[in-house]
Amino acid sequence: MPDGLDDLFANDPASTGSGQSGEGGKLRAQLEQVLAQNKALTDRLAAQEAAARSRTVAELFAKHSVPDLAKDLFPQDAEPTDEAVTALVEKYGALWGAQAATAATTPPEQQAATNAAQQFASQASAPPAGPLTDEAIRARMAETKNAAELMQLMQELQSSGG
């Protein structure tokens, strides 16, 4: 099989009549060995990249509740990101009953604020019976930790006539 290297080594004065026994034959053997190693490493890298992409896509699909059957709808050349899977859900989510709003993720800060507000609302107690004294008002104001608590105290004062 002529590959251009035969021409290069054919005129090598170091080679003898056997064709591959001289210095050129050794160099060719080394070159072929390096090329074979390069091909093996390239194939291995491609397999690992494909496995990593599959794993990432599977994790994103699980996060966004996309069924495995919809995996074929995700483009092979698309980068596996939250935004790409959200776009997939927006486009094809009606096929499995998903809505794009369910695919969008809430920022951690907003989720923490929502949880804190829900916790505060569940712990809110009924206002005390009767009007508050100035001392009690000052004590309650000192205990407020955020604007929501202060607003609630103000509403209690207004409703109690204080």
Tell me what pLDDT residue 154 has.
Answer: 79
Task: Please tell me whether residues 47 and 90 are part of one structural domain.
Answer: no
One domain for residues 57 and 25: yes
Co-location of 100 and 116 in the same domain: no
Residue 69 CA to residue 95 CA, distance in Å, equals: 11
pLDDT tens-digit series, residues 69-79: 888 888 888 88
What average pLDDT score do residues 98-113 get? 61
CA–CA distance, 142 with 52 (Å, rounded to integer): 54
Q: Are residues 1 and 44 in the same domain?
A: yes
d(CA 100, CA 86): 7
User: Are 85 and 103 spatial neighbours (Cβ–Cβ below 8 Å)?
Assistant: yes
Distance CA 109, CA 70 (A): 31
Span 133-153, average pLDDT:
79
127 lies in the same domain as 91? no
Are residues 152 and 127 part of one domain? yes
| pLDDT for residue 102 | 43
d(CA 25, CA 27): 5
Contact 120, 149 (CB under 8 A): yes
> What residue numbers bound the domain in which 7 lies?
1-63
Confidence (pLDDT) at 104 = 47
pLDDT band at 10 (very low <50, low <70, confident <90, very high): low
Q: Residue range 143-158: average pLDDT?
A: 79
Residue 19 φ/ψ region, left for φ over 0, alpha for ψ in the -120 to 50 degree band, beta for the rest: left
pLDDT at residue 60 tops 80? yes
Question: Higher pLDDT residue, 33 or 135?
Answer: 33
User: Does one domain contain both 144 and 114?
Assistant: yes
Q: Is the pLDDT of residue 14 over 70?
A: no
Instruction: Tell me how far apart the terminal alpha carbons of the chain are, to the nearest angstrom.
Output: 101
138 with 86, same domain: the answer is no
Q: Computed from CA positions of residues 58, 63, 105, 146, in that sequence, does the dihedral angle turn out positive or negative?
A: negative
